[in-house]
Structure formats: structure tokens, C-alpha cells
Structure 1
Amino acid sequence: MADIALLLAAGASSRMRGRDKLMELVDGTPLVARQAALAASVVPHVLVALPPAPHPRHAALDGLDVTRLSLPDSAEGMGGTLRGAVARLPADCTGLLLLLGDLPEITAEDLRAVLAARRTHPQARIWRGATEDGAPGHPILFAPDTFPDFARLSGDAGGQSVIARHRDHLHLVPLPGTRARRDLDTPEDWAAWRDMRSQTP
């Protein structure tokens, strides 16, 4: 088997006032499709956690070699999504690369950098993308021996308790700028980001 990427795309975009942030266009492509294609270009197996069908995010993934997951656990929040998804991983999965759906600046090079850190820092059990000044962000690679800890997750805290449990074996991977943490949660965030991009040579 090989590594598996999990794209978290089951959230409700509650701060977007009726718009879906994961369907916002980035270079002409819905963000959820961009993120899924990005993961598929680096990792051989990609799971995408989605709201129950029918939902526009499902159709946005048409043509991509990814596996759609609609998990009842997602109703609890991110912790439930992670618990349900990790429970479905095959026993021979060599690593779980966790990617948030709403980080529009993450690149394939960033994913590769986090994966490469496993070779350069093999003593770690979690390899986490960070800003260039060291603030922790995403993506995050989890070693298989952390997977049992996901069974304890609940609510919307995500995998923070898993990371805390293995904090002595956490390695941060600095990525350029702030793209490991730049998420866009409101229409104003999107407008400001697009304005910034339009002014960048």
C-alpha cells in the first residue's frame, strides 16, 4: 500500500452568508476541485470527505481520480470526520496526509516538502506544515502508529488532541510565506485575497 491523502471538505461554510467557500473559483476551478487535484498529483490515493449527496461539491470532483466519502460522523464536526475517515483506512496505509479544503495557496511542492520531511526526520511521528516563521498549519502527515488515537476524536477540534499526544515527536516543516495557514472564511476574506492577487506581478 502507500500513503493516503484526506481532503477535509465536509464543512458548512457557515461564515460565507449563503456562499460556499469550497465552490469559490481559484484560477477558474472550484476550490474543492483544485485541492483534490493537487493532492492527487502527489499522493496515489485521495479521499475527499464531503457533505451528503446531492451537493455541488460532489459534481465539482467529476473526472478526478479521488474517492468521495460522505460520513455520518461529519455531523459532529471535524473531529467526527477524522474519526470516521481514519477508521476506514486500510491496514497497510503507510501515512495519512491531511489537507484542509480552504487553503487556496497550498501547492504540490508544499505537499512534497511535508512528505519529504519523513525521510529527513524519521524520528518524528507527525510532520506538520508551518508558515516560514514557524506558526503551525497544514498539511499534516501522520504516521500509522498515531491512527488509533483518532478513534477518540469528537466535536470540531480536529486532530489537535492527536498532535498534542505526540507533541514530543512533532516536526514542523516551514513553507513559504503564510500559505500553510491562509484560509478564507468570509466573503470579505475572498475579496481581499483576490484583490491582493490581482496586484501581485
Structure 2
Amino acid sequence: MTVAGLLLAAGEGRRLGRPKALVDLDGRLLVERGLATLTAGGCTPVHVVLGAAHDEVLAAADLAGATVVLNEDWRAGLASSLRAGLAALPSQVEAVVVALVDQPLVTPEVVRRLRQAYDGGAVTAVATYGGLPRNPVLLARSTWADVAAQASGDTGARAFLRANPDLTTPVPCDDVGAPDDVDTPAELATLRRRLLTQS
């Protein structure tokens, strides 16, 4: 079974003050960390959707092994990046794990668990933490058209998943990852302190 990875990394990071893809965390750009997580989790191919400051990202980041998808419509929000990414995946891909660039505590094991859920027959699978659905998510190809149609603004697959709970398999990941995201300088500072105490 071919399960691809899709990293959404096109936003400008307005509240953060710079594109999240270019944020250095523990010596590595967030876009590089996200690519490595999907790759180590067994996804192939891996597509990275860029938008804001894409020239800077391409110049600064090591994205070897990834296919870069440019979302010219990135200002329209995350949904536009999800649509661009899904549309770019090759025909042999049967499912995709969609991850966000600003959640660096997601680990390869989270990705592997989503892939295992798909191997077990799941149509969609969602990583949960504390019982709550977050990211990443896995989407079988049969859902992509509906997911793309229902995505809007900064909401990606959530609308489809909420409308189709019977198709969604929750995958607990509390023990192997965390959904903390980086939206503000304060959140970034907190995350850096957390990583420092773990090292």
C-alpha cells in the first residue's frame, strides 16, 4: 500500500512574525523537521506545500527527497494548501498522512500508527491526544474529493471528519507525541524551553 506524506508549510506566520517553515528549532528548520518526521514514519513520496517566502524556504532548507508544491493561493488559508497538495499527489498513492509544519512534537511513531490504522482498514485516521482529535490525519484517496470540497479558509479536513464520524478511526498518540503548535513567539519560547529540559 502506498501512503504518501503531505506537509503543509505555506503560511506566512502572521502572529509569529515570520513564516513557520523558516523557524529554527533546536538547530533545524521546522519544514525540515516535518519532512523528516513523515519520511521516518514510512511515508513515500513526501510532498511539501510552500507559499509565503517560498524562495527563502527553498534557499535555506534541505528538502532533499521531497517534492515541492507551490501554492500560489496561500493567502486564502490552509484549505488552499491542502487542495494543492492533494491534487499534486501521483495516481499510485492510495492514502496520505497530512501534517502541519508548526507541530514539531509530532513524531515518526505517530505517523506509523496512522499508517497501521490504514493497513487495518481505516478510511480516515486521526491522531488523538487526551482523547481529542488533532493532527496529523490520514486520508484514503476515496475521501480526497470530498475533503477538498469541504475544506475552507484555515480549516482543512476537519469539516469532512466531523461530518463522517463513522469513517474516522481515532488513534491515541499521547505516549509518542504532542500536538503543541507554534503560532506566537511566546509559544515558540515555551517549546524551546520544553525541548531544552528534555535534552
TM, length-normalised to structure 1: 0.88
- Alignment-mate amino acid for residue 190 of structure 1: L
CA distance in 2, matches of 1:114, 1:70: 26
C-alpha displacement of 1:63:
5.2
C-alpha displacement of 1:177:
5.2
1:170 to 159, 168, 171: 168
Q: Which runs of 4+ in 1 moved over 6 A?
A: none
Give the equivalent residue in structure 2 for 1:117: 117
Give yes or no for the alignment of 1:100 onto 2:97. no
CA distance in 1, matches of 2:176, 2:107: 12
CA distance in 2, matches of 1:178, 1:23: 25
More deviation, 165-174/146-155: 146-155
Query: Between Structure 1 and Structure 2, how many residues are aligned?
Result: 197
CA-atom RMSD in angstroms: 2.1
CA distance in 1, matches of 2:61, 2:18: 18
Q: How does 1:7-18 map to 2 (within 5 A)?
A: 7-16=7-16, 18=17
Residues 121-178 of structure 1: per-residue CA shift (max 9 Å, x gap): x1x31101111x2111111110111011134133222121221232211111111259
Counting aligned pairs with the same residue, the percent is 31
C-alpha displacement of 1:8:
0.3
Give the equivalent residue in structure 1 for 2:196: 198
Give the equivalent residue in structure 2 for 1:29: 28
C-alpha displacement of 1:23:
2.0
Q: Which runs of 5+ in 2 are unaligned?
A: none
- Alignment-mate amino acid for residue 169 of structure 2: H
* 1:194 to 1:73, Cα distance in 2 relative to 1, 3 A: same
- Alignment-mate amino acid for residue 10 of structure 1: A
* Partner SS state of residue 155, structure 1: coil
Give yes or no for the alignment of 1:139 onto 2:136. yes
* 1:100 to 1:33, Cα distance in 2 relative to 1, 3 A: same
Q: Which runs of 5+ in 1 are unaligned?
A: none
Give the equivalent residue in structure 2 for 1:183: 181
